[in-house]
């Protein structure tokens, strides 16, 4: 089983960007931990991070026919990007939307997700651990054929 992990703008700054809000783990730390979990689950992961909306759309398009599912943290684009939502819906793979913070306890403009209605699930508020929860949940919910 193959799972893509796509991260959006400013997630390359994790660990130093507003650590009181986003934590001190870096994106590399999160990816390293996810690889450990993936080995346990018997899945293969690919990682990408993009600061531009169009770059994320392009990255999503390349997943078509290549992965069984995805974890997506589109950062601030989660709240505004119908283009990313439509790309994810268009390639028709199950995905889990991930947020480090509880977006529903943040500023009003962050309380709406443009991606959520197309997502299998939304995990938010658990910090970096949310990625592990999302991966485990996605693998558990994927069809048996994709699980080997």
- Please give the positions annotated as active site: 22, 99
Q: Output the six-digit token pair for 72.
A: 């997506």
CA proximity to 93, closest of 127, 59, 124, 126: 59
**CA 14, CA 26: separation in Å to the nearest integer?**
5
Q: Output the six-digit token pair for 142.
A: 């994927």
């Amino acid at each position: 089983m193959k799972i893509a992990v796509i991260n959006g703008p400013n997630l390359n700054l994790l660990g130093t960007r507003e650590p009181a809000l986003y934590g001190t783990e870096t994106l590399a730390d999160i990816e390293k931990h996810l690889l450990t979990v993936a080995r346990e689950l018997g899945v293969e992961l690919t990682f990408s991070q993009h600061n531009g909306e169009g770059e994320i759309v392009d990255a999503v398009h390349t997943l078509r026919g290549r992965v069984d599912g995805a974890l997506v943290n589109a950062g601030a684009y989660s709240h505004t990007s119908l283009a990313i939502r439509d790309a994810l819906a268009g390639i028709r793979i199950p995905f889990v939307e991930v947020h480090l913070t509880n977006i529903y306890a943040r500023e009003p403009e962050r309380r709406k997700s443009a991606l959520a209605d197309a997502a299998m699930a939304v995990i938010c508020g658990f910090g970096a651990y949310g990625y592990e929860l999302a991966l485990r949940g996605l693998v558990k919910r994927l069809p048996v054929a994709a699980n080997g």
